[in-house]
Amino acid sequence: MADRLVVLHRGILPPDPARIERLADTVYATEEELPLLLPGADIVLCWHSITPVVAAAWPEDPALAPDWVHVAAAGVDSLLFPALVGNPDVVLTNSRGVYDQAIAEYVLGLIIALAKDFPGTWEHQRRREWRPRDSERIGGRTALVWGTGPIGRAVARMLRAVGMRVTGAGRTARADDPDFGLVHAGARVRTALAEADYVVLATPLTPDTRGMVDASVLAAMKSGARLVNVGRGALVDEEALIRHLADGRLAGAALDVFAQEPLPAASPLWDLPGVIVSPHTAGEVTGWRADLADLFLDNLIRRNEGRPLRNVVDKNKGYVRERIRVTHPGDTSLRGAF
């Protein structure tokens, strides 16, 4: 008998859904319909991933809970609720690998846009104003990429390719990382913050990383530095960030994610100088939905054939664990250094 699959969506379905329907007894659920359709399902595909409704719809009886939940995203923070995390029979997988290169390109584009003040150029063009001015180089500038998972690694490789000096911040210090060279941990992250022209956030959102970029971290950043966030909005204390931007201590920020999405129209971030706001689209490139569907389909075939699934999330950590050779273990006391 085929597994019963519930696909959670917001009006957009996976491309070529017949491929999935041939392998599972598939039903489609909006957020409003999910509480009726989730109990008794074997598999849940969260095609729309950032939503609290899965937790709200999760059955109280563990016998009615699905044994596999797949997320069409890299982040799984909205699914780390106690009933799912605490049930050892439920496997959680994500779409790690789909977004890496796209997000890395987006980060490079944001850094170039900040350094060259493209928003100012476009505003002058709109006003038909001819204003020659100097811009900044990015070659030789220092970037600290906070997050050493696949997305952070792709960002590091991209920035190093254009001549930036890149280091990483993670849970464990090491001196010969293949992508970052030097990875900082613990108190050394604060030192690295003071030296970085750009700080790029690419960590998952977990209980340890929520709010990790608080007022003290922002104060530790180099005066005139810029923050780029392609991780999750809740990594950052937005009120503290607004203060540091408004008083000019930070030169700018490029933000693709926010604590509340869509970003409220009343947020000062829309109008602060040196700030680029984008609507959580860093990984959305031509063909990205097909790539997400292909990954899920591969895992569905693996399940039907009794083979191990790809991208199994450590539910207690909140991400897919990697094995990285560590040559110089360091202090890991800094909260949220991933």
Amino acid identity, position 159:
L
Q: pLDDT under 50 in the chain at which residues?
A: 324-338
Task: State the pLDDT at residue 325.
Answer: 40
Amino acid identity, position 48:
H
One domain for residues 165 and 31 = no
* CATH code, 131: 3.40.50.720
280 is known as an active-site residue: yes
Task: State the pLDDT at residue 48.
Answer: 87
Amino acid identity, position 93:
T
One domain for residues 8 and 110 = no
One domain for residues 123 and 46 = no
One domain for residues 65 and 187 = no
Q: In what order do the strands lie in the sheet with 43-46?
A: 25-29, 4-8, 43-46, 68-71, 91-93
Q: Residue 292 falls within a domain, yes or no?
A: yes
Residue at token pair 């003040």: 117
Q: Residue 331 falls within a domain, yes or no?
A: no
pLDDT tens digits, residue range 300-329? 999 999 999 999 999 999 999 865 443 333
pLDDT tens digits, residue range 263-305? 999 999 999 999 999 999 999 999 999 999 999 999 999 999 9
Nearest CA among 212, 247, 218 for reference residue 232: 212
d(CA 83, CA 171) in angstroms, rounded, equals 27
d(CA 231, CA 207) in angstroms, rounded, equals 14
Question: Of residues 48, 153, 188, 232, which has the active-site annotation?
Answer: 232
Residue at token pair 């041939």: 22
Task: State the pLDDT at residue 1.
Answer: 78
For the chain, how many structural domains are there in total? 2
Radius of gyration of the chain (CA): 21
Task: State the pLDDT at residue 33.
Answer: 97
Residue 140 gets which letter from DSSP? T
d(CA 93, CA 282) in angstroms, rounded, equals 21
Contact 154, 101 (CB under 8 A): yes
Q: Residue 149 falls within a domain, yes or no?
A: yes
One domain for residues 20 and 80 = yes
Q: Which domain holds residue 90?
A: 4-96+286-305
Question: Of residues 123, 136, 239, 261, which has the active-site annotation?
Answer: 261
174 is known as an active-site residue: no
